[in-house]
Every structure is written in structure tokens, then in C-alpha cells.
């Protein structure tokens, strides 16, 4: 991002983000059978069912890609020739380029879902990380040769093509692809499951792009930049790290049978939930104190919008880490029909609140709308449904009281040492919340000489169940 702002400026970067927001709506046409494939293939299915699932997924993927391409080209004609949308006309070539990019991503999603069912997430994560580095290098080279905003789209398109080729080659080692006679009951199950998840996806997509579109319309593209920059560090933890954790967890939980859930598995799931809550609250405290310094080092203090927006984003960070992790328990056992409807309600609620609150609170109002809608609607549901289905106990009030003591300790520390430079603030702000919480919560474990070091670490991470 610092490279992009250096070459494009805040205004140009805001245009880029707005472009991505509009382009993101192409994903509304992707019906996403991938999650169903991962869920079913994670179970011990026989060879015939495996062939059926792979074939259904391939047909659905080709159909989705074709529909996306056709509607995208039709939309391009409407915006250029009939509506004559100025912003679209200015960047029409990139909309077409990213349309093809989205088609490639649909196929990448299909092959990735097959690999996820085999627990090949490590390979996919490493591959995407390496390709991201190459994408940055390509963009820098193009920027240096005065390609401007084109650099970002050319580099992203190139890497998408490369990612697709590699995932196809690797997936072919484990799966055989061919069209066979399809089991209609299996198709029905796939459609029922995927449609509910499609509603969730529409909501997530809308929430991801809606804020940028609303801010661009009411406040201007420079405020899109400010909003996105302030959100970057919270997003890193809530959607990148927690998101990858939930993807890795999904195939494992999908393989469990609710009818034969052993006490061992119940205990293990409770430990996972405890760890998620503890990580969420501690990383939220950490980000609250270091986000301003992170932005100052990264792109400059002038692009930090303020503590009010930072506070809302940190609360959103806590909510999203818990939501995306616990949501996996609901998705893994086909209990998503109501969640799909509630996610759609969340989108509409967020839109309604954003349009009202932006007039009174500006950027903070848009963030507040997202926080309220996410907390009151889908989060409440997944927490209640998971407790009901898996008989899991969530952390009690003592847990939150101990977390408050951690926050208070860090707050006092930074009041005494408020003149620390940004690097030291990030160092202490990242480290101290975890250390202080460990001392407050686990002091009995730490001082007990009878417990082995390995067992101490295990108990600190998972808690007493």
C-alpha cells in the first residue's frame, strides 16, 4: 500500500479501491459450490460419490464462469452505451480485464475446494504468499515504467493466471476430472446447501464493497483511502489470519458426526472456542494501542483518521474473529439455512444504518453501522446455534474481567511512557497484552512446580476445561 500511495497518491488509491469495490460485485454471480464439495469430500465417501462430487463441482463452476462472463459483458455495454457512467467509462478496459480475472478466480476456487478437502491448505497458503510477493514486484516494475494505475491490474491479472495453472496441475495429482451421469439427489443437496451459503456470501461481499461505494458517493475517494488504511491491520487479523484458521478448521469439523460426538471431541471443540475468544480479546487490545503507530510507520500519520474510528474497528476486529471462527461450526454441519437469511438481513440493516449514520458521524458512522449489524444479527445466531448443537460453554464473566485488567495495565503503561517512538509502541503494545494476561490468568499454573513446562504451555493456550 505505501508503494501504491507513493505512485498514485491518496486520490488515485481511492479510485483504485472504488474500482475494486465495483468489480467485487461480479462475485454475486458465483454460486460457490466449493464449500459443499469440501464438506462432503472431507467425509469418508466412496469412489463413486467422489467422482460424482468432482463432476458436479466442475459443471457448476463452468456454468458460473459462463454466466459471470455474459452478464459482465452485458453490464459493460449498459454502462458505456446507455447509462454512460463517467467513472466506468474512464476505467472500462480494467473492468473487462478484471471480469476475466474473476472468471479465473472462480476456477481457482473450485480447485482450491478440492485441495481443502484433502487438508492441503498449507500448500495453498504458501503458494498464495509467494505469488503475492511476485505480484508486488511486477507492480513495482510497471510503476517504475510509468504504467500508473494499470500496474495494479496487470500484475493482479498475471498472478491470477499463474495461480490457476499451478492449482490445476497440483489438483490433477489427486483427482480425476471427467463428466459422468449425475446423481440428482446429490445435485439437490448441493443446491440447497450452496444457496444458503450463497446468501451469506452475498452479504459478506456486500459488506466488503458497500462501505467503499457509500463513502465514495457521499464523501469522496480520498475518504475511501482513509477508511481502508485504518481498517488494514484489523482486517489482517480478523479476515486473513482468523479466516485462514476457519478454512483449516472447516474440513476437520465436517468429518465429525453429530450423532456420535465423543466426550473427547466435545472437550477439544471447547478448547478451540476458548482459544479463539482469548486470542480475539488480546489481539483487539493490542491493535487498539498500536494501530496509529503502525499506520504512521507504514504510510504516514496524516492518514490515521482518529481514535474514534480506531475504536470501532477494534471492536469489529473482536466480533469478526469470533464470528468467522464460530461460523465454521454452523457451516460444517449443514445448519446454514437460517444463517443465510440472517446474513441477508445483516446486509440490508447495514445499508440502512450506513445511509443514516454517515450523515451524522461521517466515516465513523459507516464503521458503526457494520459493527451493529454484525453483532446483533449473525453473531448472536452462530453463538446460540453452536452452543445448542455442540454443547459448548463460552468463557464466563471472570474471563472478561481478567481481560479488562490486561487492558487497564497496558493503558496505564502507555500513560506513563506516552513519548515512546512508534517502533517501541508497536513492540510493547504487541507483547504486553499477552504477557500481562498470562500472568493474571495463569499465575497458579506458572508457579506450580509439579506441572511440566509442556503441560503449562498447553494449559495456558487452551485453558482449564
Considering the domain architecture, whether residues 254 and 390 belong to the same structural domain is answered as yes
Considering the domain architecture, whether residues 360 and 232 belong to the same structural domain is answered as yes
**Helices (H), ranges, 118-219:** 121-144, 150-171, 184-218
* Dihedral angle of Cα 404, 405, 409, 412, to the nearest 10 degrees: 60
Report yes or no: 371 and 316 within 8 Å, Cβ to Cβ.
yes
Contacts for 400 with CB less than 8 Å, ≥ 6 apart: 281
Report yes or no: 370 and 214 within 8 Å, Cβ to Cβ.
no
Considering the domain architecture, whether residues 452 and 327 belong to the same structural domain is answered as yes
Question: Does any domain span residue 228?
Answer: yes
The whole-angstrom separation of Cα 193 and Cα 33 is 8
Using the 3D structure, point to which of 166, 182, 198 is the last residue of a domain.
182
Considering the domain architecture, whether residues 131 and 222 belong to the same structural domain is answered as no
Question: Does any domain span residue 23?
Answer: no
Considering the domain architecture, whether residues 244 and 392 belong to the same structural domain is answered as yes
In the DSSP assignment, the letter for residue 303 is G
Question: Does any domain span residue 108?
Answer: yes
Question: Does any domain span residue 198?
Answer: no
> Within a 10 A sphere around the Cβ of 141, how many other Cβ atoms?
12
Considering the domain architecture, whether residues 111 and 220 belong to the same structural domain is answered as no
Using the 3D structure, point to which of 139, 166, 182 is the last residue of a domain.
182
Question: Does any domain span residue 455?
Answer: yes
Q: How far, in Å, are 105, 109, 158, 245, 348 from residue 163 at the CA level? A: 9, 11, 9, 21, 34
Question: Does any domain span residue 94?
Answer: yes
Considering the domain architecture, whether residues 334 and 430 belong to the same structural domain is answered as yes
Q: Label residue 265 exposed, middle or buried (CB < 10 Å: 0-12, 13-18, 19+).
A: middle
Using the 3D structure, point to which of 182, 217, 235 is the last residue of a domain.
182
Considering the domain architecture, whether residues 455 and 321 belong to the same structural domain is answered as yes
Structural domain boundaries enclosing 342 = 207-465
Considering the domain architecture, whether residues 292 and 165 belong to the same structural domain is answered as no
Could you read off the pLDDT tens digit of each residue along the chain, which spans 465 residues? 566 666 666 667 677 777 777 777 666 666 667 777 777 777 766 777 788 888 888 888 888 888 888 888 887 777 777 777 666 677 777 788 888 888 898 899 889 888 888 878 778 888 988 998 898 899 888 888 877 778 888 898 999 999 999 999 999 988 888 777 766 777 777 776 666 666 776 666 655 677 888 888 888 877 888 888 888 888 888 877 777 777 677 767 766 666 666 777 777 788 888 888 988 999 999 999 999 999 988 878 888 888 899 999 999 999 989 988 888 888 776 567 777 788 888 888 988 999 999 999 998 999 999 899 989 988 898 888 888 888 787 888 888 888 888 888 888 888 887 788 889 999 998 988 888 888 887 777 777 777 777 776 777 666 654
Considering the domain architecture, whether residues 223 and 351 belong to the same structural domain is answered as yes
Question: Does any domain span residue 460?
Answer: yes
Considering the domain architecture, whether residues 176 and 238 belong to the same structural domain is answered as no
Residues in the chain: 465
Question: Does any domain span residue 164?
Answer: yes
3-state secondary structure of 239: helix
Considering the domain architecture, whether residues 250 and 176 belong to the same structural domain is answered as no
Domain count, the chain: 2
Of 193, 201, 190, the residue nearest 335 (C-alpha) = 193
Amino acid at each position: 500500500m505505501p508503494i501504491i500511495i507513493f505512485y498514485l497518491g491518496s486520490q488515485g488509491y481511492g479510485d483504485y479501491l472504488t474500482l475494486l469495490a465495483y468489480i467485487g460485485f461480479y462475485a454475486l454471480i458465483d454460486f460457490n459450490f466449493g464449500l459443499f464439495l469440501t464438506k462432503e469430500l472431507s467425509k469418508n465417501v466412496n469412489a463413486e460419490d467422489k467422482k460424482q462430487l468432482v463432476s458436479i463441482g466442475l459443471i457448476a463452476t463452468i456454468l458460473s464462469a459462463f454466466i459471470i462472463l455474459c452478464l459482465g459483458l452485458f453490464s459493460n455495454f449498459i454502462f458505456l452505451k446507455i447509462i454512460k457512467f463517467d467513472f466506468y467509462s474512464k476505467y472500462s478496459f480494467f473492468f473487462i480485464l478484471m471480469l476475466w480475472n474473476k472468471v479465473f478466480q472462480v476456477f481457482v476456487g473450485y480447485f482450491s475446494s478440492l485441495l481443502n478437502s484433502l487438508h492441503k491448505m498449507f500448500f495453498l497458503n504458501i503458494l498464495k504468499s509467494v505469488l503475492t510477493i511476485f505480484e508486488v514486484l511486477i507492480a513495482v516494475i510497471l510503476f517504475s515504467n510509468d504504467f500508473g494505475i494499470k500496474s495494479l491490474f496487470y500484475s493482479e491479472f498475471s498472478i491470477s493466471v499463474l495461480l490457476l495453472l499451478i492449482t490445476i496441475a497440483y489438483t490433477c495429482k489427486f483427482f480425476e476430472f471427467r463428466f459422468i451421469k449425475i446423481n440428482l439427489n446429490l445435485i439437490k443437496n448441493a443446491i440447497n446447501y450452496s444457496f444458503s451459503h450463497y446468501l451469506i456470501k452475498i452479504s459478506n461481499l456486500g459488506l466488503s464493497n458497500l462501505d467503499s461505494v457509500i463513502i465514495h458517493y457521499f464523501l469522496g475517494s480520498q475518504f475511501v483511502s482513509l477508511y481502508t488504511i485504518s481498517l488494514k491491520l484489523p482486517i489482517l487479523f480478523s479476515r486473513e489470519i482468523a479466516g485462514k484458521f476457519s478454512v483449516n478448521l472447516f474440513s476437520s469439523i465436517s468429518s465429525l458426526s453429530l450423532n456420535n460426538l465423543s466426550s473427547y471431541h466435545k472437550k477439544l471443540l471447547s478448547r478451540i472456542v476458548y482459544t479463539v475468544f482469548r486470542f480475539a480479546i488480546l489481539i483487539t487490545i493490542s491493535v487498539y494501542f498500536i494501530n496509529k503507530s503502525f499506520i504512521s510507520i507504514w504510510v504516514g500519520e496524516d492518514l490515521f483518521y482518529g481514535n474514534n474510528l480506531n475504536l470501532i474497528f477494534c471492536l469489529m476486529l473482536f466480533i469478526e474473529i469470533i464470528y468467522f471462527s464460530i461460523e465454521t461450526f454452523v457451516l460444517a454441519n449443514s445448519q446454514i439455512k437460517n444463517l443465510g437469511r440472517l446474513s441477508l438481513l445483516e446486509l440490508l440493516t447495514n445499508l440502512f444504518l450506513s445511509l443514516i449514520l454517515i450523515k451524522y458521524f461521517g466515516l465513523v458512522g459507516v464503521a458503526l453501522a457494520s459493527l451493529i449489524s454484525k453483532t446483533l444479527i449473525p453473531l448472536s445466531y452462530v453463538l446460540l446455534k453452536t452452543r445448542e448443537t455442540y454443547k459448548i460453554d463460552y468463557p464466563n464473566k471472570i474471563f472478561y474481567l481478567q481481560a479488562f485488567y490486561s487492558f487497564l495495565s497496558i493503558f496505564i503503561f502507555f500513560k506513563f511512557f506516552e513519548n515512546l517512538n512508534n517502533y517501541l509502541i508497536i513492540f510493547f503494545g504487541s507483547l504486553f497484552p499477552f504477557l500481562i494476561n498470562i500472568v493474571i490468568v495463569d499465575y497458579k499454573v506458572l508457579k506450580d512446580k509439579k506441572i511440566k513446562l509442556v503441560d503449562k504451555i498447553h494449559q495456558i493456550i487452551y485453558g482449564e476445561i
